[in-house]
Amino acid sequence: MAGIRLLVVDDEPEIVAILCEMLGEHGYVVDAARTAEQAIALIREHIYEVALIDFNLPDMDGMMLHRQIRQMDEELAGRTIFMSGLLQTEANLGYYRAESAGFVGKPFDLRDVLEQIQRVLEG
């Protein structure tokens, strides 16, 4: 896992801190963005193996960000894991299932996050 770069996109500082610490302890290189705009800037600068994206961001929702990622990096778009604490509509769940690698509900179990990442990396 050394050198595998992940992008965490979430506007909640506590979630970002927990994920960055936990994933870093497991050998991942983790960058974090608090907005979709920050995430897009980071994707332009780095190559990411997996993106973990919160559905509810301050500047656009996770689906809109995912569509922009698809235009920039088709492979990363297919290795996206959505995170959300919101009750999901069937339309949103359908999008997640069709367009992304996974979904983690909040509050999440850190083992579930690691399992989702490993599953995505094994492709």
Mean pLDDT lowest among 8-12, 21-25, 104-108? 104-108
Is residue 38 over pLDDT 70? yes
For residues 44-49, average pLDDT: 96
Predicted TM-score (pTM) of the model is 0.89
110 vs 87: which has the higher pLDDT: 110
- The Cα 59–Cα 71 span in angstroms is 18
Q: Which two tokens stand for residue 7?
A: 């992008």
Is residue 72 over pLDDT 90? yes
DSSP state of 83: E
**3-state secondary structure at position 30:** strand
Q: Where are the domains of the chain?
A: 5-122
- The Cα 46–Cα 38 span in angstroms is 12
Asked if the 5-122 domain carries CATH number 3.30.70.3270, the reply is no
Torsion angle (degrees, nearest 10) of CA 80, 89, 97, 35? -10
